């Protein structure tokens, strides 16, 4: 079992496209994305572009780790100072290209949801922390302990640094999974315009 970040594979710019394909497959049935993009083929295409953007942000302003060079699973971590990025940072990470591919309506919808999610950070977290967003395991490799390994490797570091970890999920099963690793729900909401639950979860350092 991987227990340290040094034993993981650090994602760089050259790995972004195949890594984005992994995350897109893992989140194909995510409630938010199904709501915003009901057509499965459209969702598959747009998610690949969305997660390319997200992974570029992670590589530039956070840290991205995979289980191995085969990219069976990966985790994107942001230090709290880069959770809410400036317009320049988003443009540098390819945000304008994603906007063009998504179109005005979808981009506006996703932005509104992102602002709702960021409101939890602004209200609940007035201290340094690491933000997990996202954690993804390729569907054929799920259930093999990859998510656990990715989490525990980062916890070894955050515990040494005495820093908490924060995440959000809209999936009750995922919420219960994270509780096993010391995360607790600090607030629950509902994504505006939907009936999708939203859990904000914090893990204190140990």
The pLDDT of residue 99 is: 87
Q: What is the DSSP string of 40-66?
A: HHHHHHHHHHHHHHHHHHHHHHSEEEE
Average pLDDT, the chain: 95
- The ranges assigned to domains in the chain are 5-203
Q: Look up tokens 């729900």; give the residue.
A: 185
CA atoms within 13 A on the CB side of 64: 28
Q: Does domain 5-203 have CATH number 3.40.50.2300?
A: no
3-state secondary structure of 205: coil
Q: Which of 2-16, 127-141, 155-169, 181-195 has the lowest mean pLDDT?
A: 2-16
- Mean pLDDT over residues 42-55, rounded? 96
pLDDT band at 1 (very low <50, low <70, confident <90, very high): low
């Amino acid at each position: 079992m991987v227990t340290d970040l040094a034993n993981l594979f650090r994602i760089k710019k050259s790995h972004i496209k195949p890594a984005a394909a992994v995350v897109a497959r893992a989140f194909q049935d995510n409630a938010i994305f199904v709501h915003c993009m009901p057509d499965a083929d459209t969702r598959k295409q747009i998610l690949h572009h969305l997660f390319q953007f997200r992974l570029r942000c992670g590589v530039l302003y956070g840290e991205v780790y995979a289980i191995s060079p085969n990219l069976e699973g990966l985790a994107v971590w942001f230090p709290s100072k880069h959770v809410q990025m400036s317009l320049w940072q988003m443009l540098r990470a390819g945000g304008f290209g994603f906007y063009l591919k998504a179109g005005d309506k979808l981009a506006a919808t996703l932005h509104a949801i992102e602002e709702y999610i960021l409101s939890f950070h602004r209200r609940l977290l007035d201290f340094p922390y690491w933000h997990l967003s996202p954690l993804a395991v390729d569907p054929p490799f799920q259930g093999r302990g990859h998510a656990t390994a990715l989490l525990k490797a980062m916890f070894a570091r955050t515990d040494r640094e005495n820093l908490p970890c924060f995440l959000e999920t809209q999936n009750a099963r995922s919420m219960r999974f994270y509780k096993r690793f010391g995360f607790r729900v600090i607030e629950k909401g509902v994504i505006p315009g939907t009936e999708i639950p939203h859990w904000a979860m914090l893990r204190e350092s140990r």
